[in-house]
């Protein structure tokens, strides 16, 4: 009867052993149901080896608390005891890690992958200090970030070492559009803002030279000697409101004299290179033509400002100037660009002047300066005094027009 009762208990407690959480692949949860109790061989171990192994393991796990029974008949009951009163032995070994280790050892494949990613954080801890040290070595201080050496590379800082002057030509093949007036007064406005400026007079009429009180017929050397005889540019510079390389009537024959020279289109560019580190801006007044003198100026220039009288006939020459610039960009100076188109001699009382400005803006858009040079008698009176309009009438509207133009040019990138 003890054997029958043992088989009955195993059937009653089999659902616990078949718990899917205890299925470990050892055959504990997959025991076949015994068809009949075993009578003849009390110690038949073959149908019970999985339970005996697991029971023996559990008994060993709980051997310190229960006393072992010597009789073999009580072994099956002892094997079943850890299944029936499972909560009774657990409170004692609960503080001990052994029972938990055996229960988790059955599920060893799952914690191993969870522990496997633990080395990467260890590696990160080992690697993280190294880039931190490198970052400290590469990091610069605030004083280094604002060091003057970084600003020295800027093109617009006056007096910055290693900076090349910006060369601006004032060109339009039509005469009487205020090229000379714009060249002088914009240069003086640059000087008022703290820049060092050189003006070059390439017009054979010498109007820029006369506007600074110098008689072009009495100068010993002029830009003719620089272009034809290749004397240093400094030899023809006179100090006035701004430094000015004077011109003379001899420039009228410069194109013929230079016709046999090799590289005659770059004569002015070579002359400017000797003084480009001494100035922030070099402003070139060109003759009213697209001949060799104007080509020399455009070849040496970074930017071109085109003064345009607010009349229809004055605007027709812009297309020819654009074609000349494209030719120079392809063959001589790929960096030259139009800085802007300047409406000059504007009479706001006439409808024609307003329409001319509208035509400029429709065709050239943002290239048209916002500044407008209005007609004023001061522009005619100032050259008689040998001065710019900014010196002749510093608080007048005419002077304010060129100050506004200088601010616009400095802000929009010519500097």
Query: Can you tell me which residue has the tokens 């008994």?
Result: 59
Q: What local confidence, expressed as pLDDT, does residue 413 receive?
A: 54
Q: What local confidence, expressed as pLDDT, does residue 174 receive?
A: 87
User: Residue 286 and residue 243: Cα distance in Å, rounded?
Assistant: 17
pTM: 0.62
Per-residue pLDDT 10s for the chain (415 aa) are: 444 444 444 444 444 444 444 444 444 444 455 555 544 444 444 555 554 444 444 444 444 445 555 544 444 444 444 444 445 555 555 555 444 444 344 344 444 444 444 554 444 444 444 444 443 444 444 433 333 332 333 344 444 445 589 999 999 988 889 999 999 999 999 999 999 999 999 999 999 999 999 999 999 999 999 999 999 999 999 999 999 999 999 999 999 999 888 989 999 999 999 999 999 999 999 999 889 999 999 999 999 999 999 887 777 778 888 888 999 999 999 999 999 999 999 988 889 888 989 988 988 889 999 999 999 999 999 999 999 999 999 999 999 999 999 999 998 754 4
Sign of CA dihedral 159, 160, 162, 166: negative
Q: What local confidence, expressed as pLDDT, does residue 49 receive?
A: 53
Q: Where are the domains of the chain?
A: 167-412
Q: To 10 degrees, what angle do helices 179-192 and 397-412 make? A: 70
**Fold of the CATH domain 167-412:** Rossmann fold (3.40.50)
SS (H, E, C) the chain: CHHHHHHHHHHHCHHHHCCHHHCCCCCCCCCCCCCCCCCCCCCCCCCCHHHHHHHHHHHHHCCCCCCCCCCCCHHHHHHHCCCCCCCCCCCCCCCCCHHHHHHHHHCCCCHHHHHCCCHHHHHHHHHCHHHHHHHHHHCCCHHHHCCHHHHCCCCCCCCCCCCCCEEEEECCCCCCCCHHHHHHHHHHHHHHCCCCEEEEECCCCCHHHHCCCCCCCCCCCCHHHHHHCCCCHHHHEEECCCEEECCCHHHHHHHHHHCCCCCHHHHHHHHHHCCHHHCCEEEEECCCCCCHHHHHHHHHCCEEEEEEECCHHHHCHHHHHHHHHHHHHHHCCCCCEEEEEEEECECCCCHHHHHHHHHHHHHHHHHECCCCCECCCHHHHCHHHCCCHHHHCCCCHHHHHHHHHHHHHHHHCCC
Q: What local confidence, expressed as pLDDT, does residue 92 receive?
A: 54
């Amino acid at each position: 009867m003890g054997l029958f009762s043992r088989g009955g208990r195993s059937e009653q407690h089999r659902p616990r052993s078949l718990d899917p959480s205890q299925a470990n692949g050892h055959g504990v949860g997959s025991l076949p149901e015994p068809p009949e109790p075993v009578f003849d061989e009390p110690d038949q171990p073959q149908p019970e080896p999985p339970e005996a192994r697991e029971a023996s393991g559990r008994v060993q796990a709980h051997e310190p608390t229960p006393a072992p029974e010597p009789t073999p008949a009580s072994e099956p009951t002892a094997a079943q005891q850890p299944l029936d009163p499972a909560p009774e032995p657990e409170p004692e070994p609960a503080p001990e890690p052994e029972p938990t280790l055996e229960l988790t050892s059955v599920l060893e494949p799952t914690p191993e992958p969870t522990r496997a990613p633990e080395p990467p954080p260890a590696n990160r801890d080992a690697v993280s200090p190294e880039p931190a040290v490198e970052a400290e070595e590469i990091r610069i201080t605030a004083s280094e970030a604002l060091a003057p050496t970084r600003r020295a590379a800027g093109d617009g800082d006056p007096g910055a070492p290693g900076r090349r002057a910006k060369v601006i030509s004032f060109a339009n093949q039509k005469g009487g559009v205020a090229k000379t007036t714009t060249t002088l007064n914009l240069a003086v406005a640059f000087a008022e803002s703290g820049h060092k400026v050189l003006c070059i007079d390439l017009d054979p009429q010498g109007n820029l030279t006369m506007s600074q009180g110098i008689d072009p017929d009495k100068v010993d050397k002029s830009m003719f000697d620089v272009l034809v005889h290749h004397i240093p540019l400094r030899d023809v510079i006179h100090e006035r409101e701004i430094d000015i390389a004077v011109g003379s009537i001899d420039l009228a024959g410069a194109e013929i004299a230079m016709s046999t020279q090799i590289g005659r289109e770059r004569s002015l560019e070579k002359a400017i290179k000797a003084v480009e580190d001494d100035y922030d801006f070099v402003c070139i007044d060109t003759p009213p033509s697209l001949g060799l003198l104007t080509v020399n100026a455009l070849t040496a220039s970074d930017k071109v400002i085109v003064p345009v009288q607010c009349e229809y006939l004055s605007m027709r020459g812009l297309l020819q100037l654009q074609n000349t610039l494209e030719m120079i960009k392809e063959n001589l100076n790929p960096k030259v660009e139009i800085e802007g188109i300047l409406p000059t001699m504007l009479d706001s009382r006439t409808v024609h002047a307003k329409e001319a400005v509208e035509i400029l803006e429709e065709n050239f858009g943002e290239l048209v300066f916002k500044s407008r040079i209005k007609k004023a008698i001061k522009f005619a009176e100032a050259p008689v005094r040998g001065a710019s309009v900014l010196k002749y009438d510093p608080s007048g509207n005419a002077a304010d027009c060129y100050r506004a133009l200088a601010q616009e040019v400095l802000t929009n990138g010519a500097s």
